[in-house]
Amino acid sequence: MDEVAIYAFQIGFAFAILILISLGLAVIFGMMRVINLAQGEFLMLGAYFCTLITQSGVNLWLAFLLSGLAVGVFGIIVEVVIIRWLYGRILDTLLATWGLSLFLVGGVTTLFGPQSESVAAPLGRFSVGVYGISQYSLVVIAVALALLAGTYALWRYTRFGLVVRGTMQNPTMAAGLGIRTWLVYMLTFGFGSALTGLAGAVLAPIVGAAPPMGVFFIGKAFITVIAGGQMPLLGTISASGLFGTIDGVVSYISSSVVGEMGMLFVAIILLRLLPLGITGRLKRGI
């Protein structure tokens, strides 16, 4: 029984991590079709903001929000300086954001040094039979679900969400209707960045903050969003579910590296069978 519970927990946790690291990418890449290779570094910035803010004595939960906000603002700056000039030039966007990614890794290393900064994980542990589980990992799962629900609600039920979806579908038409599409793009990019920053902050108590941490997550995030296919949110959820299960189980049996290789292997086979991703055949939805 404990065995089952611990597997369920492993899978749930892996699922939550995948959701956290890919949700911002699902907005930026999945919806806006902007390939942001610096996505992992946005995550890293979130983690750094979180350590800096908590070190200055601010409450951790508030630090999460502030970090998200800070990375959101940073994302808006990036959109204005780089991304805006490259819409429609997908490969160039990819190369420029790759440059940004290297720049951020180098910059953060110069400012804070290569060592890892840590944030004390709050809350204690509880046990399931012989296994110990930190309560904070339950928080991670809860935050992931909350962000997912929040993003869905924002897209589905608000005027802003409608405007964004309309603009992404047909920018010319949206512009014709008097929507300031440049503003929509800017804000959407900012929103995706903020989600990523918040995710980085939430991860900070688990993995700390270090310059190369982005690279650690970027691969997983892209596999998840690509395999998810055309519908950014539903696709990300289903791919996270699938890969979370593989990652959780394989990592538990073997090691996390093998888990990740398993994910990649399944993703490549999946793309051979469903080139448009899991939700590629569905017609409507987000």
CA distance 252 to 239: 19
Q: What angle do CA 30, 12, 46 make, to 5 degrees?
A: 55
Contacts of 259 (CB under 8 A, 6+ apart): 14, 246, 247, 248, 249, 250, 251
Q: Minimal distance in Å, beta carbon 200 to other proteins? A: 18
Stretch that binds other proteins, among 13-21, 58-66, 80-88, 125-133 (CB under 8 A): 80-88
Q: Minimal distance in Å, beta carbon 118 to other proteins? A: 21
Radius of gyration of the chain (CA): 19
Assess 86 for contact with other proteins (CB under 8 A): yes
Closer CB to other proteins, residue 37 or residue 66?
A: 37
Q: Minimal distance in Å, beta carbon 97 to other proteins? A: 9
Stretch that binds other proteins, among 58-66, 103-111, 175-183, 186-194 (CB under 8 A): 103-111
Helices (H), the chain: 2-25, 39-55, 60-81, 90-112, 135-157, 159-169, 171-176, 181-207, 213-228, 232-253, 256-273
Binding mask 205-224 for other proteins (x = CB under 8 A): ----------xx-xx--xx-
Assess 103 for contact with other proteins (CB under 8 A): yes
What are the residues binding other proteins (CB under 8 A)?
35, 37, 82, 85-86, 90-92, 94-96, 98-107, 109-110, 215-216, 218-219, 222-223, 226, 255, 257, 260-261, 264, 267-269, 271-273, 275, 283
